[in-house]
Amino acid sequence: MADAYTRFVRSTPGAMIAKRTGLPRPARLLRREDRPEPVLGPVVVLGDSAGADQVAQLLLSWGADVRRRFEELRRVGSVVVVLDEVDAPDQLGPVLLPLAGAMRTLAPGARVVAVSRPATGQDPGRDATRGGIEGFTRSLAHEMRSGGTANGILAADGVALDAPGVIGALRFLLSARSAFVTGQFLEVTTAAGTLTEDSAQPLAGRTALVTGAARGIGAAIARTLAADGAHLVVLDVPAAGTELSRLANELRAVPIQLDVTSDGAGERLVQFLREHSLTLDVLVLNAGITRDKLFANMTPDRWDPVIGVNITSQITLTNALIDAGDVLGAQPRVVSLASTSGIAGNRGQTNYATSKAGVMAFVDALSSRLAEQGGTANAVAPGFIETEMTARMPAINREVARRVNSLQQGGLPVDVAEAIGFLSSAEAGGIQGQTLRVCGQNIVGR
């Protein structure tokens, strides 16, 4: 699966040359099948708040080898830094600095997760402290080696550290499912959500619809959600019908051929779901296209379809599903596909970035609308992912795009799928209206 350059620098002569010349040497990232255990141990919990004790107890209950200090550890798998009660910048050093001495003992694929609270604009000193944690974590992510990642969880004031959203986020960020997520923060705004009974099958008993499912990232999402226990409904345009059927056969999913931009697509979808007695717990709005061109050369035939598929269809489909009243489950999860291009902008992608920036604002507003019924809406913003689409990029652009992130490689469709799987789970209930980047900490944007 690795690209040609990565294969080269992993060879013995390639590694020597790269080391001497300082070329990037991307590590092999461990995914779920490489590392199925929930936490890479031993795990050290830093911090001395009550919340830190809660987190340590939680990790113990997962069967992890939990320590409260680095002494006598020659190798460390994971570190959870609990900073929920700090309110002055000088309190950060005593908690964080022990980690400095332990950085060289971190195992390949190690996880560092900071658990803190978001700035609220009420107390300048406390906000400065809280804001500082973000800068620390993002910088640490750049310094992590051998596929290690550093991320943060921001639990809103009043949300206990054993709330479902915090536990879910911790579970995701400590696991191999977040292999390509680094330098990111997940904000848990409420204590909503339900803990999953079986963490190996977090979507058991839930029904998920994935649009654009026939190929690429969409197919990976469908496979991952199915592996997480979900019953799948897979949707794509009629022209991709046979690929869709084959995926449906593989996953025992229900296929539906529908052009999401066609007139009445939402009503047709609702009718289909009713005819098949299906209630959706999860809606993954993945269908998307690119028609890249510099804005100077932009024409309606390149602008309109991108806007139509990538954002307008998401609005019409969700409106139709919500308005129908009987096709969404009790706590629906909507996860939409954004893009790092929508965050930072990208030359030659004004149309695409418009649509994807629109998606991020859309899920924020949609989550408010769904909140009454316990629903959430979030987005995932992939960076450079190895797909058929990126394989068609010019070779040099593609090579540069792969290296400009902390992990020095492109992500895989499954990395995006795992993030969606997490945001689709019942325990992600406290996470609303956010966009989670799956980009290996691409240097553009936050």
Partner 1 sequence: MSESHPAAPATTSAAPTTPGAPAARELPREALVLGGNRIPFARAGGPYAGISNQDLLTAALDGLVARFGLQGEKLGEIAGGAVLKLAADLNLTRESALGTPLDPRTPAIDMGRACATGLESVVHVSNRIQLGQIDSAIACGVDSASDSPIEVTPRLRRTLHRAFAAKTPVQRLKALAGIRPGDLAPMPPRNSEPRTGLSMGEHMALTAAQWGVSREAQDELALASHRNLAAAYEAGFLDDLVTGYRGLGKDQNLRADSSMEKLASLKPVFGVKSPQVAEPTMTAGNSTPLSDGASAVLMGSADWAAEHGLTPLARVVDARISAVDFVHGEEGLLMAPAYAVPELLDANGMTLQDVDLYEIHEAFASTVLATLAAWESEEFCREKLGRSAPLGSIDRSRLNVAGSSLAAGHPFAATGGRIVATLAKLLHQRALETGRPQRGLISVCAAAGQGSVALLESVTP
Binding site for partner 1 (CB under 8 A): 237-242, 244-246, 248-250, 252-255, 257-259, 268
Backbone angles phi, psi at 149, to 5 degrees: -130, 155
In the complex, minimum distance from the CB of residue 264 to partner 1, in angstroms, rounded to a whole number: 8
Nearest approach, Cβ of residue 291 and partner 1 (Å): 17
CB nearer partner 1, residue 241 or residue 308: 241
By beta-carbon proximity to partner 1, the closer residue of 201 and 257 is 257
Taking the least distance from each CB to partner 1, the nearer of 259 and 292 is 259
CB of 247 to partner 1, least distance (A): 8
- In the complex with partner 1, the residue whose CB is nearer, 168 or 255, is 255
DSSP class of 293: B
CB of 19 vs partner 1, minimal distance in Å: 47
Cβ at position 263, least distance to partner 1 in Å: 9
Beta carbons within 8 Å of 182's beta carbon, 6+ residues apart:
141, 144, 149, 150, 151, 406, 407, 440, 441
Phi, psi of 204 (to 5 degrees): -55, 135
Smallest gap, in angstroms, from Cβ of residue 254 to partner 1? 7
Instruction: Say whether 278 sits in a helix, a strand or coil.
Output: coil
Q: How far is the CB of 142 from partner 1 (least distance, A)?
A: 43
245 or 279, CB closer to partner 1?
245
Separation CA 442–CA 416 (nearest Å):
14
Look up 352 and say whether it is catalytic: yes
Nearest approach, Cβ of 238 to partner 1 (angstroms)? 4
3-state DSSP percent of the chain in helix, strand and coil, to 5:
45, 20, 35
Q: For residue 405, which of 445, 373, 363, 355 has the smallest C-alpha distance?
A: 445
Sheet with 43-46, edge to edge strand ranges: 66-67, 43-46, 76-82, 106-116, 149-155, 185-188
* φ, ψ (nearest 5 deg) of residue 166: -70, -45
Q: For residues 221 and 428, which CB has a smaller minimum distance to partner 1 in the complex?
A: 221
**What does the block give as tokens for 70?**
């680095």
Q: How far is CA 301 from CA 94, 308, 353, 359, 407, in A?
A: 58, 11, 16, 21, 37
User: Among 226, 176, 177, 233, which residue's Cα sits nearest to residue 204?
Assistant: 226
Q: Are 351 and 303 in contact (CB under 8 A)?
A: yes
Between vectors from CA 420 to CA 116 and to CA 247, what angle results, nearest 5°?
A: 165
H-assigned helices in 103-176 = 124-143, 164-174
Q: Kindly tell me which of 199 and 271 has the beta carbon lying closer to partner 1.
A: 271
Amino acid present at 359: V
- The rounded distance, in Å, linking the Cα atoms of 384 and 413 is 10
Structure tokens at 396: 């040099």
Which lies closer to partner 1 via its Cβ, residue 32 or residue 215? 215
Catalytic entry in 5, 180, 352, 384: 352
Distance, CA of 335 to CA of 210 (rounded, Å): 10
- How many CA atoms, within 13 angstroms, populate the side-chain half-sphere of residue 119? 15
Q: Which residues are catalytic?
A: 352
